[in-house]
Protein backbone atom coordinates (compact mmCIF):
# COMPACT_ATOMS: atom_id res chain seq x y z
CA UNK A 1 0.00 0.00 0.00
CA UNK A 2 1.39 3.39 -0.96
CA UNK A 3 2.10 6.02 1.67
CA UNK A 4 -0.35 8.92 2.09
CA UNK A 5 0.47 11.90 -0.13
CA UNK A 6 0.81 14.16 2.92
CA UNK A 7 3.57 11.92 4.34
CA UNK A 8 6.97 13.04 3.06
CA UNK A 9 10.48 11.78 3.78
CA UNK A 10 12.76 14.80 4.06
CA UNK A 11 15.85 14.57 1.86
CA UNK A 12 17.70 17.77 2.75
CA UNK A 13 17.52 20.92 4.86
CA UNK A 14 16.41 22.87 1.80
CA UNK A 15 13.69 20.32 1.06
CA UNK A 16 12.48 20.59 4.65
CA UNK A 17 12.37 24.38 4.64
CA UNK A 18 10.55 24.50 1.33
CA UNK A 19 7.87 22.09 2.51
CA UNK A 20 7.42 23.87 5.82
CA UNK A 21 7.13 27.33 4.24
CA UNK A 22 4.73 26.38 1.44
CA UNK A 23 1.58 26.79 3.57
CA UNK A 24 2.09 28.80 6.74
CA UNK A 25 -1.38 28.06 8.12
CA UNK A 26 -0.98 24.31 7.76
CA UNK A 27 -0.31 22.10 10.77
CA UNK A 28 2.85 20.04 10.37
CA UNK A 29 3.98 16.98 12.31
CA UNK A 30 7.73 16.42 12.18
CA UNK A 31 8.82 12.89 13.06
CA UNK A 32 12.47 12.39 14.03
CA UNK A 33 13.50 8.74 13.84
CA UNK A 34 16.39 6.37 13.20
CA UNK A 35 16.32 2.94 11.53
CA UNK A 36 18.44 1.40 14.28
CA UNK A 37 16.08 2.45 17.11
CA UNK A 38 13.52 -0.28 17.78
CA UNK A 39 10.86 2.07 19.27
CA UNK A 40 10.88 4.04 16.01
CA UNK A 41 9.51 1.05 14.08
CA UNK A 42 6.28 1.05 16.08
CA UNK A 43 5.99 4.84 15.97
CA UNK A 44 6.55 4.92 12.21
CA UNK A 45 3.38 2.84 11.89
CA UNK A 46 1.56 5.25 14.20
CA UNK A 47 2.79 8.22 12.16
CA UNK A 48 1.61 6.62 8.93
CA UNK A 49 -1.85 5.99 10.41
CA UNK A 50 -2.04 9.59 11.64
CA UNK A 51 -1.12 10.84 8.17
CA UNK A 52 -3.97 8.78 6.71
CA UNK A 53 -6.44 9.97 9.34
CA UNK A 54 -5.52 13.67 9.15
CA UNK A 55 -4.95 14.36 5.47
CA UNK A 56 -4.77 18.14 6.06
CA UNK A 57 -1.72 17.70 8.31
CA UNK A 58 1.68 17.71 6.61
CA UNK A 59 3.75 14.87 8.06
CA UNK A 60 7.51 15.16 7.59
CA UNK A 61 9.83 12.28 8.51
CA UNK A 62 13.41 13.24 9.34
CA UNK A 63 15.77 10.30 9.68
CA UNK A 64 19.00 10.41 11.65
CA UNK A 65 21.58 11.29 9.02
CA UNK A 66 24.53 13.63 8.83
CA UNK A 67 22.92 15.54 5.97
CA UNK A 68 19.87 16.27 8.14
CA UNK A 69 21.65 16.89 11.44
CA UNK A 70 21.04 20.64 11.29
CA UNK A 71 17.28 20.06 11.41
CA UNK A 72 17.54 17.85 14.49
CA UNK A 73 19.91 20.33 16.09
CA UNK A 74 17.60 23.26 15.41
CA UNK A 75 14.70 21.54 17.15
CA UNK A 76 16.97 20.31 19.96
CA UNK A 77 16.29 16.63 19.31
CA UNK A 78 18.34 14.61 21.78
CA UNK A 79 16.75 11.19 21.28
CA UNK A 80 14.53 9.30 18.87
CA UNK A 81 11.69 8.93 18.36
CA UNK A 82 10.75 12.58 18.94
CA UNK A 83 7.94 14.62 17.44
CA UNK A 84 7.37 18.33 16.90
CA UNK A 85 4.07 19.96 15.94
CA UNK A 86 4.04 23.30 14.13
CA UNK A 87 1.58 25.62 12.47
CA UNK A 88 3.67 27.42 9.89
CA UNK A 89 6.66 28.55 11.96
CA UNK A 90 4.75 28.54 15.26
CA UNK A 91 5.56 25.80 17.75
CA UNK A 92 2.46 23.93 18.92
CA UNK A 93 3.88 21.08 20.96
CA UNK A 94 6.40 18.28 21.39
CA UNK A 95 6.18 14.60 22.22
CA UNK A 96 9.31 12.65 23.13
CA UNK A 97 9.59 8.89 23.17
CA UNK A 98 7.40 6.08 21.85
CA UNK A 99 4.18 7.42 23.37
CA UNK A 100 1.57 6.67 20.71
CA UNK A 101 -1.34 7.91 22.82
CA UNK A 102 0.27 11.27 23.59
CA UNK A 103 1.19 11.76 19.95
CA UNK A 104 -2.28 10.85 18.72
CA UNK A 105 -3.89 13.20 21.26
CA UNK A 106 -1.57 16.06 20.33
CA UNK A 107 -2.22 15.69 16.61
CA UNK A 108 -5.97 15.40 17.19
CA UNK A 109 -5.96 18.56 19.29
CA UNK A 110 -4.15 20.72 16.77
CA UNK A 111 -5.49 19.21 13.57
CA UNK A 112 -8.91 20.55 14.54
CA UNK A 113 -7.77 23.67 16.41
CA UNK A 114 -8.16 26.98 14.51
CA UNK A 115 -5.50 28.80 16.52
CA UNK A 116 -2.05 27.66 17.64
CA UNK A 117 -0.77 27.42 21.16
CA UNK A 118 2.11 29.79 21.63
CA UNK A 119 4.30 28.03 24.17
CA UNK A 120 5.13 24.49 25.12
CA UNK A 121 7.09 22.56 27.69
CA UNK A 122 9.12 19.51 26.73
CA UNK A 123 8.29 16.60 29.06
CA UNK A 124 10.05 13.27 28.67
CA UNK A 125 7.19 11.06 27.54
CA UNK A 126 3.89 12.88 27.32
CA UNK A 127 2.51 15.89 25.54
CA UNK A 128 2.00 18.91 27.77
CA UNK A 129 1.00 21.71 25.50
CA UNK A 130 1.04 24.81 27.69
CA UNK A 131 3.72 26.31 29.87
CA UNK A 132 2.80 27.35 33.39
CA UNK A 133 2.90 31.11 33.91
CA UNK A 134 6.00 32.48 35.57
CA UNK A 135 5.44 33.58 39.14
CA UNK A 136 8.40 35.95 39.04
CA UNK A 137 7.55 37.89 35.90
CA UNK A 138 4.28 38.76 34.19
CA UNK A 139 3.82 38.31 30.46
CA UNK A 140 3.85 42.08 30.02
CA UNK A 141 7.09 42.40 31.97
CA UNK A 142 8.69 39.59 29.97
CA UNK A 143 7.65 41.14 26.67
CA UNK A 144 9.03 44.50 27.76
CA UNK A 145 12.33 42.86 28.70
CA UNK A 146 12.48 41.06 25.36
CA UNK A 147 11.84 44.34 23.54
CA UNK A 148 14.79 45.86 25.38
CA UNK A 149 16.98 42.94 24.31
CA UNK A 150 15.79 43.27 20.71
CA UNK A 151 16.86 46.90 20.70
CA UNK A 152 20.09 46.65 22.70
CA UNK A 153 22.08 47.44 19.54
CA UNK A 154 21.59 47.82 15.80
CA UNK A 155 22.36 44.13 15.19
CA UNK A 156 21.51 41.52 17.82
CA UNK A 157 22.01 37.78 17.47
CA UNK A 158 19.89 35.50 19.66
CA UNK A 159 21.89 32.29 19.65
CA UNK A 160 22.85 29.19 21.58
CA UNK A 161 26.07 29.93 23.41
CA UNK A 162 28.34 32.86 22.64
CA UNK A 163 30.13 33.96 19.46
CA UNK A 164 33.39 32.50 20.76
CA UNK A 165 31.73 29.34 22.09
CA UNK A 166 28.60 28.58 20.04
CA UNK A 167 26.60 25.58 21.19
CA UNK A 168 24.91 24.55 17.95
CA UNK A 169 25.88 24.27 14.31
CA UNK A 170 23.50 26.97 13.09
CA UNK A 171 24.78 29.45 15.68
CA UNK A 172 28.39 28.69 14.75
CA UNK A 173 27.69 29.20 11.06
CA UNK A 174 25.82 32.48 11.43
CA UNK A 175 28.56 33.91 13.67
CA UNK A 176 31.12 33.01 11.01
CA UNK A 177 28.95 34.65 8.36
CA UNK A 178 28.54 37.87 10.36
CA UNK A 179 32.27 38.02 10.98
CA UNK A 180 33.00 37.43 7.30
CA UNK A 181 30.65 40.31 6.49
CA UNK A 182 32.48 42.50 9.07
CA UNK A 183 29.23 43.07 10.97
CA UNK A 184 29.39 44.42 14.51
CA UNK A 185 26.76 42.76 16.67
CA UNK A 186 25.80 41.99 20.23
CA UNK A 187 24.39 38.64 21.25
CA UNK A 188 22.09 36.98 23.76
CA UNK A 189 22.51 33.35 24.80
CA UNK A 190 18.98 31.94 24.82
CA UNK A 191 20.17 28.89 26.76
CA UNK A 192 20.60 31.12 29.82
CA UNK A 193 16.97 32.28 29.99
CA UNK A 194 14.12 29.90 29.16
CA UNK A 195 11.47 32.62 29.48
CA UNK A 196 13.19 34.76 26.85
CA UNK A 197 13.84 31.71 24.72
CA UNK A 198 10.15 30.80 24.55
CA UNK A 199 8.82 34.37 24.57
CA UNK A 200 10.92 35.46 21.61
CA UNK A 201 9.58 32.56 19.55
CA UNK A 202 6.08 33.94 20.11
CA UNK A 203 6.92 37.61 19.51
CA UNK A 204 8.78 36.88 16.29
CA UNK A 205 6.55 33.95 15.24
CA UNK A 206 9.71 31.94 14.57
CA UNK A 207 10.29 28.58 16.30
CA UNK A 208 14.02 28.08 15.93
CA UNK A 209 17.37 29.65 16.74
CA UNK A 210 19.54 31.50 15.92
CA UNK A 211 17.48 34.62 15.19
CA UNK A 212 19.14 37.73 13.77
CA UNK A 213 17.62 41.10 14.64
CA UNK A 214 18.37 44.36 12.83
CA UNK A 215 16.92 47.62 14.14
CA UNK A 216 14.64 45.72 16.50
CA UNK A 217 13.07 43.57 13.77
CA UNK A 218 13.58 39.91 12.90
CA UNK A 219 15.58 39.30 9.74
CA UNK A 220 15.52 35.51 10.02
CA UNK A 221 17.70 32.51 10.71
CA UNK A 222 20.87 31.25 9.10
CA UNK A 223 19.47 30.36 5.69
CA UNK A 224 17.70 33.68 5.17
CA UNK A 225 20.72 35.69 6.29
CA UNK A 226 22.99 33.57 4.09
CA UNK A 227 20.79 34.17 1.04
CA UNK A 228 20.67 37.91 1.74
CA UNK A 229 24.45 38.04 2.14
CA UNK A 230 25.00 36.21 -1.14
CA UNK A 231 22.65 38.56 -3.00
CA UNK A 232 24.11 41.71 -1.42
CA UNK A 233 20.80 42.55 0.21
CA UNK A 234 22.15 42.04 3.71
CA UNK A 235 24.74 44.81 3.55
CA UNK A 236 22.05 47.09 2.16
CA UNK A 237 19.89 46.32 5.17
CA UNK A 238 22.71 47.39 7.49
CA UNK A 239 23.44 50.65 5.68
In-domain check, residue 133: no
Task: Identify the bridge partners of residue 87 per DSSP, sorted by sequence position.
Answer: 27, 90
Domain that holds residue 39: 7-111
DSSP string for residues in 76-139: T--SSSEEEEEETTEEEEEEESS-HHHHHHHHHHHHS-SS--------SSS---SPPPPSSS-H
Q: The domain that contains 198 carries what CATH number?
A: 3.40.30.10
In-domain check, residue 123: no
Nearest of 204, 229, 226, 208 to residue 217 by alpha carbon: 204
In-domain check, residue 37: yes
Shared domain for 97 and 193, answered yes or no, is no
Q: What pLDDT does residue 60 have?
A: 96
Please, what is the average pLDDT of the chain? 85
Least confident span in 10-14, 128-132, 171-175, 185-189: 128-132
In-domain check, residue 120: no
Cβ-proximal residues to 224 (8 Å cutoff; 6+ apart), any chain: none
- Has residue 211 got a pLDDT over 80? yes
Shared domain for 146 and 97, answered yes or no, is no
Shared domain for 65 and 153, answered yes or no, is no
In-domain check, residue 118: no
Shared domain for 107 and 199, answered yes or no, is no
Shared domain for 215 and 147, answered yes or no, is yes
**Do the bridges between strand 217-220 and strand 211-214 make them parallel or antiparallel, or are there none, so unpaired?**
antiparallel
Whole-structure pTM value: 0.52
**Count of structural domains within the chain:** 2
In-domain check, residue 164: yes
pLDDT tens readout for residues 2-18: 678 999 999 988 899 88
Last residue of a domain, one of 71, 91, 111: 111
Q: What pLDDT does residue 64 have?
A: 78
> Sign (positive/negative) of CA torsion 85, 88, 92, 94?
positive
Amino acid sequence: MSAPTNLVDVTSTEHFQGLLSAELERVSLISFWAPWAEPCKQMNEVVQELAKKYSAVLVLRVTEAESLSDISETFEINSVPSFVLLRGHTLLGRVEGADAKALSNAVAMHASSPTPQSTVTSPPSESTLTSPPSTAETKEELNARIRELLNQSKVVLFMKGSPDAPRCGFSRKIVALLRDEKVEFTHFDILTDEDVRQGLKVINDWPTYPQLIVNGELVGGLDIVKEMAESGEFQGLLA
